[in-house]
């Protein structure tokens, strides 16, 4: 999920109707890595707040970001990687990790942030995600880059699906 950046000079990707640059397209790994960084930042913000209102808002953002991220990985990225790598371990392990993440998200979505169990669940979710991200970025992504997969095309598909999911959730 893109970070806010200062405007830059117009480029060939600039729309004819405006002077605002269009967002640069990201390859699949850059897109997923940006998602990882965004969620990591949200967890850091959570750890730094005591306000119940802020905790609830941050957890809502974390849960949305993770739910969408997990879904686009499972629908698009993992099947492509599994086929390209003829993988029988990395993707299945990642799917098991996703199950744990989805379970904690479901639990957090139905409780109020006013007790120690809420903080404990957020902490465990953060630890699950850190472990998962480390494995993706040190094992899966380097192997994926070495395949003949078109990472730009895969990134475009991931971005399109992410936008669809976020639009649906915003309704």
Question: How confident is the prediction along the chain (171 residues), in pLDDT tens digits per residue?
Answer: 444 434 333 333 333 333 334 355 689 999 999 999 999 999 999 999 999 999 999 999 999 999 999 999 999 999 999 999 998 899 999 999 999 999 999 999 999 888 889 999 999 999 999 999 999 999 999 999 999 999 999 999 999 999 999 999 888
Under 8 Å between Cβ of 80 and 157: no
Question: Over the stretch 22-56, which tens digit does the pLDDT of each residue have?
Answer: 355 689 999 999 999 999 999 999 999 999 999 99
pTM equals 0.83
For the chain, which domains are there? 28-170 (1.20.120.520)
What stretches of 48-150 show up as alpha helix (H) in DSSP? Answer: 52-72, 78-85, 90-108, 116-135, 141-145
How far apart CA 67 and CA 102 sit, in angstroms, is: 7
pLDDT value, residue 24:
56
Structure tokens at 41: 């930042």
pLDDT value, residue 93:
95
pLDDT value, residue 170:
86
| Residue whose token pair is 């990201």 | 26
pLDDT value, residue 8:
38
């Amino acid at each position: 999920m893109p970070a806010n950046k200062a405007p830059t000079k117009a480029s060939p990707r600039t729309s004819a109707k405006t002077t605002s640059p269009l967002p640069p397209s990201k390859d699949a790994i850059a897109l997923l890595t940006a998602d990882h960084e965004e969620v990591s930042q949200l967890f850091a913000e959570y750890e730094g707040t005591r306000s119940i209102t802020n905790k609830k808002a941050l957890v809502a953002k974390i849960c949305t970001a993770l739910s969408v991220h997990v879904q686009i990985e499972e629908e698009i990225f993992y099947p492509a990687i599994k086929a390209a790598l003829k993988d029988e371990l990395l993707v299945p392990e990642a799917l098991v990790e996703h199950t744990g993440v989805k379970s904690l998200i479901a639990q957090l979505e139905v409780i109020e942030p006013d007790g120690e169990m809420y903080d404990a669940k957020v902490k465990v979710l953060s630890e699950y995600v850190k472990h998962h991200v480390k494995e993706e970025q040190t094992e899966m992504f380097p192997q994926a880059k070495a395949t003949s997969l078109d990472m730009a095309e895969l990134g475009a598909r991931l971005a399109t699906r992410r936008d669809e999911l976020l639009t649906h959730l915003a309704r």
